[in-house]
Amino acid sequence: MNLKNIAMNSEEIKLLLEKYYEGTTTSEEERLLKKFFSGEDIPEDLMDEKGIFRYFMLSSEVPEPSAGFEEKIISAIGREDKQIAGFGRRRLYGTLTGIAAGLLILAGSYFFFKGRSEPRDTYSDPEIAYAETIKILYEVSARLNQGTKALGHLSTLQDQTKKTMAAVSRSTAMIKEEMKPLDNIFDAIGKSGSINKK
């Protein structure tokens, strides 16, 4: 098909369009199609293709990008990456600050409640305190042993614990009775010391 001598009729244009849509046209054939569809005398059944080729003709007029276009794009991407990285750092700092504040609250609570719950010394004499401690420990031991009554061979040990606890209780009571005169002496010494200081 000699394109220069061809009078463009509807059938030849349809053949060229088929080749065009299959992607087998030459650049000369494409130019001929563009020239045909840029004209005014187009058959009614080819009006849809006219809009397509006009679009291609207009889009081919898009100017080439300027010389520094690529560098501008790359620098804009770099700036965006830096902004995203800065946001990540701010988010990390916020998270770490929150964790640190939580740890400070926990530590402060620990020291606050630790200072409030310290045990007070209720006995002035260490021997009485020791005897009471042993008494309490024997009571605890006896109650723990009651929980193991199902173990028959331990019942003798439990009996011995009760006897020992009774003996300790008696000795504690005796020590308290024996210490009463000493309490009077300590009171007298305390009063005489305060008198001498005046």
Q: What pLDDT, on a 0 to 100 scale, did the predictor assign at position 43? A: 81
How far, in Å, CA of 52 to CA of 111, rounded? 80
Among the listed ranges 106-110, 126-130, 152-156, 159-163, which one has the minimum average pLDDT value?
Answer: 152-156
Looking at the predicted structure, is the pLDDT value of residue 98 above 50?
yes
Handedness of CA 171, 172, 176, 179 (dihedral sign): positive
Q: How high is the mean pLDDT of the chain?
A: 76
Between 193 and 117, where is the model more confident? 193
Nearest to 36 by CA among 63, 54, 23, 61: 54
- Express as a percent the part of the chain with pLDDT over 90: 0
Which residues are within 8 A (CB) of 1 and not within 5 positions of it... i.e. 6 or more apart?
A: 12
Between 135 and 51, where is the model more confident? 135
Q: What pLDDT, on a 0 to 100 scale, did the predictor assign at position 113? A: 78
Between 127 and 153, where is the model more confident? 127
DSSP string covering 5-58, please? Answer: S----HHHHHHHHHHHHHT---HHHHHHHHHHHHSS---GGGHHHHHHHHHHHH
Handedness of CA 104, 106, 109, 111 (dihedral sign): negative
Mean pLDDT of 122-133: 80
Q: Which pLDDT tens digit goes with each residue over 53-88?
A: 777 766 665 566 677 878 888 887 877 777 776 667
Between 168 and 121, where is the model more confident? 168
3-state secondary structure of 64: coil
pTM, entire model: 0.29
How far, in Å, CA of 89 to CA of 117, rounded? 42
Could you write out the three-class secondary structure of 140-167? HHHHHHHCCCCCHHHHHHHHHHHHHHHH
Q: What pLDDT, on a 0 to 100 scale, did the predictor assign at position 194? A: 58
Nearest to 34 by CA among 1, 60, 64: 60
Q: What pLDDT, on a 0 to 100 scale, did the predictor assign at position 174? A: 83
